[in-house]
Structure 1
Amino acid sequence: MPSFHPFPIRIFLFTVVATLLGGQFVSASDCPNIVLMMCDDLGWGDTGFNGNTIIQTPELDALANEGTVLDHFYSVGPVCSPTRASFLTGRHYFRMGIWTANKGHLPSQEFTLARMLKTRGYATGHFGKWHLGTLSRTVSAKGKGRRPDLHYAPPWERDYDASFVTESAVCTWDPGIGKRARNNPYYENGVATDENVLGCDSRVLMDRALPFIEAAAERDQPFLSVIWFHAPHEDIQAGPEYLAKYEGHGEAAHYYGCITAVDDQVGRLRKKLASLGVADNTLLFFCSDNGPEGGEPSNRMKTRRAGSAGEFSGRKRSVLDGGVRVPAFVHWPGQIPAGVRLNAPLSVMDLLPTVAAITGAETLPNRLLDGENVLPIWKGEQAQREKSIPFRYGQFACLVRGKHKLIIESPNDDSKDRLFDLSKDVSESNNLANQKPELTASMRTELLGFLESAKASHAGEEYEGNDTKPVEKWHPLGKAGQRGNATPNR
Structure 2
Amino acid sequence: MFRKILFLSIPLVCLLDTTHAATAEKPPNIILMMCDDLGWGDTGFNGNKIIKTPHLDQIAADGAKLNHFYSIGPVCSPTRASFLTGRHYFRMGIWTANYGHLPQEEFTIARMLREKGYATGHFGKWHLGTLSTEISAKGKKRRPEVNFAPPWLRDYDASFVTESAVQTWDPGKGERAVDNPYYENGSIATENLEGCDSRVLMDRAIPFIRDAAAAEKPFVAVIWFHAPHEDVVAGPEYLKMYEGHGAAAHYYGSITAVDDQVGRLRAELDKLGVADDTALFFCSDNGPEGATDPDQSKNNRRSAGVTGGFKGRKRSVHEGGVRVPALALWPGRIQPGTVIDTPCSVLDYLPTVSAVTGGEPLPGRILDGENIIPILEGKVNKHEKSIPFRFGPYACLVKGDFKLIINSPDDNGEDELYDLSKDRKETNNLRKQYPEMVQEMRGEILAFLHSAKNSHNGAEYDEKDYKATDAWKMLRNISVEKPKPSGK
For normalisation by structure 1, the TM-score amounts to: 0.90
Partners of 2:141 and 2:426 in 1: how far apart? Answer: 37
Q: 2:145 aligns with which of 146, 149, 152?
A: 149
Q: 1:105 aligns with which of 92, 101, 106?
A: 101
Given that 2:407 and 2:477 are in contact with CA atoms closer than 8 Å, whether structure 1 keeps it comes out as no
Partners of 1:383 and 1:29 in 2: how far apart? Answer: 28
Given that 1:390 and 1:399 are in contact with CA atoms closer than 8 Å, whether structure 2 keeps it comes out as yes
1:225 matched residue in structure 2 = 221
1:369 matched residue in structure 2 = 367
3-state SS in 2 of match to 1:292 = coil
Q: What letter is aligned with 2:122?
A: H
3-state SS in 2 of match to 1:146 = coil
1:13 matched residue in structure 2 = none
Deviation at 1:143? 4.4
Q: 1:305 aligns with which of 303, 318, 333?
A: 303
Q: What letter is aligned with 1:396?
A: Y
Q: What letter is aligned with 1:357?
A: A
Q: What letter is aligned with 2:105?
A: Q
After superposing on structure 2, the runs of 4+ consecutive aligned residues of structure 1 that deviate more than 4 Å are none
Partners of 2:72 and 2:142 in 1: how far apart? Answer: 24
2:130 matched residue in structure 1 = 134
1:212 matched residue in structure 2 = 208
Q: What letter is aligned with 1:378?
A: L
Partners of 1:398 and 1:332 in 2: how far apart? Answer: 32
Deviation at 1:103? 1.1
For normalisation by structure 2, the TM-score amounts to: 0.91
2:246 matched residue in structure 1 = 250
Q: 2:358 aligns with which of 357, 360, 383?
A: 360
Q: What letter is aligned with 2:302?
A: R
3-state SS in 2 of match to 1:165 = strand
2:471 matched residue in structure 1 = 473
Deviation at 1:29? 6.9
Q: What letter is aligned with 1:134?
A: T
1:37 matched residue in structure 2 = 33
Deviation at 1:145? 4.6
3-state SS in 1 of match to 2:145 = coil
- 2:164 is aligned with 1:164: no
- 2:76 is aligned with 1:80: yes
Q: Percent same amino acid among aligned pairs?
A: 67
Deviation at 1:476? 3.1
> What count of residue pairs does the alignment treat as equivalent?
451
Given that 1:420 and 1:431 are in contact with CA atoms closer than 8 Å, whether structure 2 keeps it comes out as yes
Go from structure 1 to structure 2 and tell me whether the alpha carbon gap of 1:144 and 1:404 turns closer, same or farther (over 3 Å shift). closer
Partners of 1:476 and 1:174 in 2: how far apart? Answer: 39
2:461 matched residue in structure 1 = 463
Deviation at 1:402? 0.5
Q: What letter is aligned with 2:27?
A: C
Partners of 1:130 and 1:103 in 2: how far apart? Answer: 12
Alignment of 1:294-333 (within 5 A): 294=290, 302-333=300-331
3-state SS in 2 of match to 1:351 = helix
3-state SS in 2 of match to 1:397 = strand
Deviation at 1:212? 0.1
3-state SS in 2 of match to 1:473 = coil
What are the Cα deviations for residues 182-214 of structure 1, in whole angstroms up to 9, with x where unaligned? 000000000001210110000000000000000
Go from structure 1 to structure 2 and tell me whether the alpha carbon gap of 1:187 and 1:109 turns closer, same or farther (over 3 Å shift). same
- 2:347 is aligned with 1:343: no
Given that 2:38 and 2:284 are in contact with CA atoms closer than 8 Å, whether structure 1 keeps it comes out as yes
Given that 1:397 and 1:477 are in contact with CA atoms closer than 8 Å, whether structure 2 keeps it comes out as no
Q: What letter is aligned with 1:64?
A: A
Partners of 2:156 and 2:138 in 1: how far apart? Answer: 24
3-state SS in 1 of match to 2:144 = coil
Partners of 1:215 and 1:35 in 2: how far apart? Answer: 15
1:178 matched residue in structure 2 = 174
Go from structure 1 to structure 2 and tell me whether the alpha carbon gap of 1:248 and 1:42 turns closer, same or farther (over 3 Å shift). same
Unpaired runs of 5+ residues, structure 2, are 1-21, 479-488
Deviation at 1:475? 2.1
Partners of 1:178 and 1:82 in 2: how far apart? Answer: 25
Deviation at 1:338? 1.1
Partners of 2:384 and 2:464 in 1: how far apart? Answer: 34
1:398 matched residue in structure 2 = 396
Given that 1:410 and 1:477 are in contact with CA atoms closer than 8 Å, whether structure 2 keeps it comes out as no
2:259 matched residue in structure 1 = 263
Given that 2:138 and 2:178 are in contact with CA atoms closer than 8 Å, whether structure 1 keeps it comes out as no
3-state SS in 1 of match to 2:79 = helix
Partners of 2:172 and 2:370 in 1: how far apart? Answer: 39
Deviation at 1:383? 1.1
Q: What letter is aligned with 2:121?
A: G
Deviation at 1:294? 2.2
465-474 or 178-187: which moved more?
A: 465-474
Deviation at 1:366? 1.1
Q: 1:446 aligns with which of 444, 447, 466?
A: 444
Partners of 1:96 and 1:390 in 2: how far apart? Answer: 15
1:114 matched residue in structure 2 = 110
